[in-house]
Amino acid sequence: MDQIPLEFEFLTGGTYETIGTTTVQVRSQATIQATIFGDGVSRIKPLIVFRGKETRLLKSEKSLWDKRVVVDFQDNAWVDEKVMLRWLQNQWQLAIDFDGYSGQHTLRNTIPRMLVLDVHKAQKTPAVKDLMHRFNTLPVMVPAGCTSLVQPLDVCINKLLKDRIRALADQHYVDHILEWSAQKYTASERRILMT
């Protein structure tokens, strides 16, 4: 499992921090938390954490969300302890309750599981560790500086995902720039609309 910060200002061929840095300080617009399994079976939907509070949404907005993702909110769009606990309870627990090999439901938490994580502080809190223990899950922390060697999402998926999101964002901008320029906005109003 790994988090991918989305800035909506994409760096071409770069990272958000020096390679090997243990903490990346970015002001995300959203964070995607993705999970893959060694057998290739998809058991957990991607989690998208947006900045803000869910209580500020229009009721009609939720119906527009894609059913293939789970949406959560946090003040800074980060995966903090509260978001991590909700993910463990609402997604991880369901994934481990299902025995993907036999296709049968098993007794809850009877099969030991391993969850590979980076050293993100929200994944190491006592409450998170306790919940993992109750779910019979062994957290395996990838040492700082080794993520690019042993974290499959970091090695194979994250860059491709960011590239695809960048292409879609660029296309959205191109598709709508004519609409904006046709309207009588001042340059400063256009800058505000684009942020």
* More confident call, 67 vs 102: 67
Give the pTM.
0.72
Instruction: Express each pLDDT in 8-44 by its tens digit.
Output: 654 455 554 555 665 555 555 899 999 988 888 889 9
Orientation angle between helical segments 187-194 and 158-182, nearest 10 degrees: 150
3-class SS of residue 8: coil
* Count of domains observed in the chain: 1
Confidence grade of residue 91 (pLDDT, cut at 50, 70, 90): very high
pLDDT tops 50 at residue 88: yes
| CA atoms of 93 and 79, how far apart (whole Å) | 18
Say if CB 1 and CB 34 are below 8 A apart: yes
Residue 46 is predicted with a pLDDT of: 93
Q: Give the separation between CA 34 and CA 69, rounded to whole angstroms.
A: 10
Domain hosting 32: range is 2-194
**Which residue, 127, 135, 142, 118, is CA-closest to 2?**
118
Pick the range with the lowest mean pLDDT from 3-12, 116-125, 154-163. Answer: 3-12
| pLDDT tens column, 39-73 | 888 899 999 999 888 776 777 788 888 899 999 99
What per-residue confidence (pLDDT) applies to 175?
A: 79
The three-state secondary structure class of 108 is coil
Token couple for 136: 């019979």
Strands 104-105 and 98-99: antiparallel
Q: Is residue 105 scored above 80 in pLDDT?
A: no
Residues 147/154, Cβ–Cβ less than 8 Å: yes
